[in-house]
Every structure is written in structure tokens, then in C-alpha cells.
Chain A
Amino acid sequence: MERDKNFILGVYDDEDVLMDAVTQIRKTGVKIHEVYSPFPVHGLDEVLGYRRSRLPIAAFIFGLIGTTLALTMQFYMMKFDWPMIIGGKDHASLPAFIPVTFELTVLLAAFGMVGVFMVASNLKPWGQARIFDLRITDDKHVMAIDLANNASIGEEKLADVLKLTGATEVNKKSFE
């Protein structure tokens, strides 16, 4: 991550042009760092060759933790710590525990998913966002290419490729 400092940026006006550009540029062997767009572009993740998110796995694990926590907590409280008879039921009556178990499962799955997502996408409170171009929140799509990662191709050729595929501007951006 330390070396990701110098980027060349292609600015695109239109998402269809962008999609074709991504496909073409990847074909030439250029490694694209990331593409930023003001709205979700359907199918962009696919042409970029991203793997599917593993967030559902995190959700499942956190959900399982929630289920276990809820059941252990209720059995411990109701059976061992402070046994109470409610409505003539056993101390440990599983059906009565299900609503709480369900809620804790959902709660932990949801919170866990949000937490994992924030950490994984560098949205943690102490994280520093790298803004490539302010117009990505308005009307421009920006393709960022890491220069160090594509050293063999060279900066000039990358700029040519970007222009050739329909970029309206080609900029450079460096981060410390």
C-alpha cells in the first residue's frame, strides 16, 4: 500500500464509454486500480473482473455468534443464574427463547456486516479517504491507474490508451 502513490486518471463522461474502456484497457494488460463513479454502473464490477464480495460469509459467522450468544445467555440466566418459573414452563424452555435468539442473530449479523464493510472499504473513523477527483460525486467517472503497478507500460502510453478509449481528460494525482 505504501507504494500506491502516483496515479494517472482517465475522466469519462459516459458510463457506456467507460464500460467499453475498462474492457479494452484490461485487454491490453493494464492493471486498473479502481474506477469511481457518481452512481452504481450495472455490470461494472464484472468487467473490472472483481471477485464476488465475501460479505455474506462475514454475515453468516456473525449471525452464528449471535445465535450462540443468545441461547447461551438465556439458558445460563433462566436455568442456572436465576431460575424462574414463567407461565408454568420449564426453566429452560426453548420455544420461549426463540424470539430473542432470532433478534440477536439479526442484530449481530447486521452490525457485524456493517463493521466488516467499513473496515474492508477503508471507511473506518481513523481512515483517510483518498479523493481522486471531486467530480466523481457529481457527473464524472474516473478511472485510476497505479503508475508503479504498470511501470512496464509507461506513463505516456497509458495516457494515450486512456485518450484512445474516450477519456475526456487525463490527469495525474499523487498521494503522500
Chain B
Amino acid sequence: MAHSTTNYNLDQKFEFTAALKKSIMTVLVIGAVILAIGIVMAMFGGGHDHAEGGDHAYHWYQRLFANLWINNVYFTGIAVIGVFFFAIQYAAQAGWSAGILRVMLSFGYWLPFAAGLMIVSFFIVNHDLFHWTHSDLFDPNDSHYDKIIDGKGSYFYWPMEKGTFPLFFVIRLVVFFGFWVFFFNKLKNLSFEEDIHGGTSYWGQIRKWSAIFLIFFAVSSSISAWDWVMSIDTHWFSTMFGWYVFASWFVAGLSAITLVVVFLRERGYLEMVNENHIHDLGKFVFAFSIFWTYIWFSQFLLIYYANIPEESVYFVERLESDVYSPFIFVNLVLNFFLPFLVLMTRDAKRHAIFLKVVCSLIILGHWFDFFLMVQPGTLGQNGGFGLMELGMFLVYGSAVALVVLGGLAKKPLIAKNHPMLEESYHHHI
């Protein structure tokens, strides 16, 4: 039981080797090629599904935009969850996780990129994804006037006139990312300063900033879910949507953190992180997979049971569509049945091989969750999972991996002056 603590190398740094960079770049290039093939096929092969009599004909690039948006939202979530989980450790005064704090934090390196991509792509995808951006919806004299959307208009356009520039929406977009990046930098700098100066005062400061961030994140994660995802189905609403998106992000983020920890350990880093810590991460993935299912099902059951047309249309679009209905079951199998049954036993949570398989599939599974949130409302029957989706997912995934691992390699892997590091060595469950 008694571990010798003197052997741990507390100054270890993750070396982002050229070989590793090359293999991630290869995945990125493969993804880009698949994406390009998908685009070419869509340009020349697609288009035969022109809407009958609809006033918005379907264009192939809408599918590209929808994909862009799915990945923007999904990987933003994974990045911000890294910072969120880091903050949770401090707010909860957790000792067990002291060895893996930097791994969580490193996901925040994607946030500035995510911010840029999201803000730029909002102005590109604009009318093609977000129905509410059409100005004729707000003009009572226009034949397209929509009373319901007009009622929600101020939420997007305030203080501007409805149908002009969605100032309030853009402000939220910028402010949320601004604060997320600010908190990430604040926590990161404090954590690295602690390495130099030591003492317990940094821990207290990080805890204070973590608490403020958590309050901000509680509000901003919900609102960003309404803004970026729920507003696609502009008429529809669900009071559980903020939690639903957060739960999806959280499980995906936890899986990504677990994967990186396992990956680092296999390469000989983080020798103070043993199967007890891995076990706890596994428990988190297991528990929050169930939490996600609980939220997903609660949202579904209430809508299904009440059967109010304006609410149930969301599930009618998905369950009664040949394109999307199989993915509902893919979603439930990958995100509930698989982690529930595989990670149920203690041994599965303590052995990296089970976690690697389950976490990878969960990351894929929650991508499908976001796919199901975005595509039906934007592409209708023209959507689906094809080369474009696969390619874009690979491109984004490997770009995130490059940025996150690159960030991780910049600074020491261990918060060596963390006051609870010693406690985490002795973590035993």
C-alpha cells in the first residue's frame, strides 16, 4: 500500500513527437480527402431531391454547413468540458485527480480556435441553417410572416429591429466564448504559476476562479444550447434542452479526458496515475452515460406522453424518417447500452482496454447525438451519414487532437506544487 513517492518525476513533460504528429496529420489528410470526395459527389450527384414546391431549394453546400456546425458545437463542448471538469475538481476540493488536472485543462487550448470557427461560420451558414435569420418572417405584411417566430424575435435581434442584424445572438456568442477563453487562461496561468512559487495560496485562488467560472458556465452552457442548437428548430422548444446538450458534452468530454490519460500512461507518462484513478474516470463515464440517457429519455417521454403537436414534431421528424430513425437507435446503443453493460463491472473500469473501446465509441456516439439535433431541422430528408460527415468528423477530431496535445506538450504534465498531489498518490478504491 505504501507507495514510495520519491521516484515520481514531477517535472515530466509530454513530448509531442514528430511521428505522433505525422500520424494525426495523416488522419487529418485522409479526412480531408474523404470530405473532398463527399463534396464532389454531393455537387454532381446530389440535388435530385429538390423540394416539391418549397421555396428553399436544397443546395449541396447546406450539408457541408450543417456538418461544419455539428462539429463546431460538438468539439467546442468537449473543449469547454475540459475546463469545466478542472474547475469542478477545485470547487469540490478533490484530491484524487491532482495528477491529471493538466490533461483536463489542456482541452481548453481548443477554445480560441473553436471561438473563431464558430463566429466565422455563423456568418457563413446563417440563412442556410437558421430559419430565424430570414427577415421576411418578421414582416407582418409579408406572406412568410410567422407570428411565433416574430414573438421570439427579440431573443435574437434585440436591440436591433427584428429581421436585421441578430445583435443579441452575436453578443451572446462572443461573450460566452470570450469568458470561457478568459477563465481558461486565468485558471491555466494560476496553475502554472503554482509550479514556480508553490504554496497553498494558488490553490485557493484557483478555487475562487473555478467557482465563478462554474456559475457562469451553468448559465452560459444552457443558453448556448438554445442558441446554437435549439434555435435551428425555431418553432420548437424544450425546457430540458440545455441540460440535454450539457449532458452530451459532458460524457463526450469525460471520454476524451479518459482516453488522453490512458494514452499518456501507455507512453510512460503520469506514473502516479494508477488503476484507481482510471477506475474513477471510468465511473464518471459510466455514471454520466446514464445521466445523459436519463435526460434524453425524460425529454422524449414527456413529449411522447403529452403528444402536443408543436412539441412532438421534433421526434416525428426523426423517428418517422428513413434517414434519421436508424440513428436514434445507434445513439441509444452507443451512448447507453454499450457503456452501461460494458462498464458495469469493476474490472472493466480498471482496465484500459475496455475504457479505450467504450470511450472511443462514446465520442462517436455523441457526435451522432449532435448529428440528430442539427441535421433534421436543417437538411430534412437530404441529410444522412455519408462521406462528407465522416470526413469532416475526422478533420475536426484530428485538428482538436493536434491543438490539445500541442498545448499539453508546452508545459509540465504535473501540477507539482498542488497541495493534494500526495493525497492523489494514495488514492485507493
Give A89 to B306 CA distance when docked, in angstroms. 10
Give A105 to B277 CA distance when docked, in angstroms. 29
| Distance of A102 from chain B, by nearest CB (Å) | 9
B300 beta carbon closer than 8 Å to chain A: yes
| Contact between chains at B307 and A60 (CB < 8 Å) | no
| Distance of A45 from chain B, by nearest CB (Å) | 12
B4 beta carbon closer than 8 Å to chain A: no
| Chain A 75-97 per-residue mask, 1 if CB under 8 angstroms from chain B, else 0 | 00000000000011100000110
Give the residues in chain B near A46, CB-CB below 8 Å: 1
| Contact between chains at A95 and B346 (CB < 8 Å) | no
| Contact between chains at A60 and B344 (CB < 8 Å) | yes
Among B323-348, those with CB < 8 Å from A are 344-346
B301 beta carbon closer than 8 Å to chain A: yes
- B297, closest chain A residue (CB): A98
> How many residues does chain B have at the interface if contact means C-beta atoms less than 8 Å apart?
12
Among B250-307, those with CB < 8 Å from A are 297, 300-301, 304-307
State whether A95 and B428 are in contact (beta carbons under 8 Å apart), knowing that A60-B344, A87-B307 are contacts in the complex: no
| Chain A 141-158 per-residue mask, 1 if CB under 8 angstroms from chain B, else 0 | 000000000000000000
State whether A43 and B428 are in contact (beta carbons under 8 Å apart), knowing that A87-B305, A95-B300, A96-B305 are contacts in the complex: yes
- A19, closest chain B residue (CB): B1
Give A42 to B428 CA distance when docked, in angstroms. 9
Among A54-74, those with CB < 8 Å from B are 56, 60
| Contact between chains at B307 and A43 (CB < 8 Å) | no
A38 beta carbon closer than 8 Å to chain B: no
| Chain B 1-16 per-residue mask, 1 if CB under 8 angstroms from chain A, else 0 | 1000000000000000
Among B124-169, those with CB < 8 Å from A are none
A115 beta carbon closer than 8 Å to chain B: no
Give the residues in chain A near B1, CB-CB below 8 Å: 43, 46
A130 beta carbon closer than 8 Å to chain B: no
Give the residues in chain B near A88, CB-CB below 8 Å: 307
Give the residues in chain A near B346, CB-CB below 8 Å: 52, 56
Give A43 to B345 CA distance when docked, in angstroms. 21
A99 beta carbon closer than 8 Å to chain B: yes
- B294, closest chain A residue (CB): A102
- A52, closest chain B residue (CB): B346
Give A117 to B393 CA distance when docked, in angstroms. 49
| Distance of B306 from chain A, by nearest CB (Å) | 8
Give the residues in chain A near B305, CB-CB below 8 Å: 87, 89, 95-96
State whether A56 and B345 are in contact (beta carbons under 8 Å apart), knowing that A42-B428, A43-B1, A96-B305 are contacts in the complex: yes
A42, A43, A60, A99: which contacts B301 (Cβ < 8 A)? A99
| Contact between chains at A98 and B428 (CB < 8 Å) | no
| Contact between chains at B304 and A95 (CB < 8 Å) | yes
| Contact between chains at B301 and A95 (CB < 8 Å) | yes
Give the residues in chain A near B306, CB-CB below 8 Å: 87
| Chain B 65-93 per-residue mask, 1 if CB under 8 angstroms from chain A, else 0 | 00000000000000000000000000000
- B301, closest chain A residue (CB): A95
Give the residues in chain B near A99, CB-CB below 8 Å: 301
Give the residues in chain A near B307, CB-CB below 8 Å: 87-88
Give A46 to B307 CA distance when docked, in angstroms. 55
Give the residues in chain B near A56, CB-CB below 8 Å: 345-346
| Distance of A124 from chain B, by nearest CB (Å) | 27
Give A60 to B341 CA distance when docked, in angstroms. 11
Give A98 to B428 CA distance when docked, in angstroms. 36
Give the residues in chain A near B300, CB-CB below 8 Å: 95
Give the residues in chain B near A87, CB-CB below 8 Å: 305-307
Give the residues in chain B near A52, CB-CB below 8 Å: 346
| Distance of A43 from chain B, by nearest CB (Å) | 6
Among B298-323, those with CB < 8 Å from A are 300-301, 304-307
Give the residues in chain B near A98, CB-CB below 8 Å: 297, 301
Give A96 to B428 CA distance when docked, in angstroms. 41
| Distance of A66 from chain B, by nearest CB (Å) | 15
Give A68 to B428 CA distance when docked, in angstroms. 36
Give the residues in chain B near A42, CB-CB below 8 Å: 428
| Distance of A4 from chain B, by nearest CB (Å) | 30
| Distance of A41 from chain B, by nearest CB (Å) | 12
Give A96 to B301 CA distance when docked, in angstroms. 7
Give A96 to B304 CA distance when docked, in angstroms. 9
| Distance of A112 from chain B, by nearest CB (Å) | 16
Give A88 to B306 CA distance when docked, in angstroms. 10
The list of the 7 closest CB pairs from A to B, nearest first, reads A95-B304, A43-B1, A95-B301, A87-B307, A87-B305, A96-B305, A98-B297
What residues of chain B have their CB less than 8 Å away from a CB belonging to chain A? 1, 297, 300-301, 304-307, 344-346, 428
Sample 10 A-B pairs with CB under 8 A, ordered by A number: A43-B428, A46-B1, A56-B345, A87-B307, A89-B305, A95-B297, A95-B301, A95-B304, A96-B305, A98-B297
13 additional A-B residue pairs with CB within 8 Å, beyond A95-B300, A95-B304:
A42-B428, A43-B1, A46-B1, A52-B346, A56-B346, A60-B344, A87-B305, A87-B306, A87-B307, A96-B301, A96-B304, A98-B297, A98-B301
